């Protein structure tokens, strides 16, 4: 197992373990009551992410282009380490679940108890900090902050992590595959 793969697995595994443990200990809700609203909400969230990405690509082409170049480097590192689409799908699933459980399920829920609705903004800010980028690609960190805000609002409105997990996993799967394929 190569270093980028190992690092990503350890990072996501740690977030999942910490977030799930916190949610269980504090009795925070994982899911809502109706997949009939959660799945369409997840699809809507995925479409919003695609629109947001297109908007950032259009309004901030140099910075977002640099972020895409860096994603290409990640794709090359993953491909060089021998990973194929099944491993990328596993990584997308793990990152989608782990980040939603930690940032929305645990952190946002905990902060809501202390701060109220500003918790959604704070968790989105912290989510963006987990996705750092060099100065030339600053738009990527801003994009992930806005995406974190959308994920947080979806959890706040539905009481379920399912829409965020669905959208986050599919968004990451597309991104990992595009980066890997372009390598």
- Please check whether residue 114 lies inside any domain of the structure: yes
pLDDT of residue 9: 84
Dist CA 65 CA 69 (whole Å): 6
Q: Where is pLDDT greater, at 51 or 74?
A: 51
- Please check whether residue 5 lies inside any domain of the structure: no
Reported as a pLDDT band with limits 50, 70 and 90, residue 101 is: very high
- Please check whether residue 1 lies inside any domain of the structure: no
DSSP annotation string for 57-78: HHHSHHHHHHHHHHHHHHHHHH
Task: Report the percent of the chain where pLDDT is more than 70.
Answer: 97
As a whole number of Å, the CA-based R_g of the chain is 16
> Which range marks the domain in which residue 95 is found?
37-182
Reported as a pLDDT band with limits 50, 70 and 90, residue 1 is: very low
- Please check whether residue 67 lies inside any domain of the structure: yes
Do residues 2 and 80 make contact, with C-beta atoms less than 8 angstroms apart? yes
Total domain count, the chain: 1
* Mean pLDDT of the region 163-179: 94
Indicate whether 150 pLDDT > 80.
yes
- Please check whether residue 90 lies inside any domain of the structure: yes
- Please check whether residue 52 lies inside any domain of the structure: yes
* Mean pLDDT of the region 147-175: 95
Do residues 115 and 39 make contact, with C-beta atoms less than 8 angstroms apart? no
Please state, in angstroms and as integers, the Cα–Cα distance from residue 39 to each residue in 33, 63, 93, 163, 166, following that order. Answer: 12, 33, 16, 6, 8
- Please check whether residue 47 lies inside any domain of the structure: yes
For 24-73, the pLDDT digits (tens) are 999 998 877 777 889 999 999 999 999 999 999 999 999 999 999 998 88
Reported as a pLDDT band with limits 50, 70 and 90, residue 89 is: very high
- Please check whether residue 111 lies inside any domain of the structure: yes
Reported as a pLDDT band with limits 50, 70 and 90, residue 102 is: very high
Dist CA 82 CA 87 (whole Å): 9
DSSP assigned state of 136? G
pLDDT of residue 46: 97
């Amino acid at each position: 197992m190569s270093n980028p793969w190992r690092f990503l697995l350890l990072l996501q595994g740690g977030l999942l373990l910490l977030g799930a443990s916190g949610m269980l200990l504090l009795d925070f809700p994982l899911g809502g009551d109706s997949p009939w609203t959660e799945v369409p909400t997840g699809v809507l969230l995925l479409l919003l992410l695609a629109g947001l990405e297109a908007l950032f690509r259009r309004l901030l082409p140099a910075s977002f282009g640099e972020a895409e170049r860096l994603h290409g480097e990640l794709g090359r590192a993953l491909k060089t380490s021998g990973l194929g689409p099944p491993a990328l799908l596993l990584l997308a699933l793990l990152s989608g679940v782990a980040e939603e459980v930690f940032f929305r399920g645990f952190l946002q829920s905990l902060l809501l108890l202390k701060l109220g609705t500003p918790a959604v903004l704070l968790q989105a800010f912290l989510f963006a900090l987990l996705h750092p980028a060099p100065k030339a690609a600053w738009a990527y960190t801003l994009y992930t902050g806005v995406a974190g805000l959308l994920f947080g609002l979806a959890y706040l409105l539905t009481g379920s992590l399912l829409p965020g997990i669905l959208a986050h996993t599919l968004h990451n799967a597309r991104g990992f595959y595009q980066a890997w394929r372009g390598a």
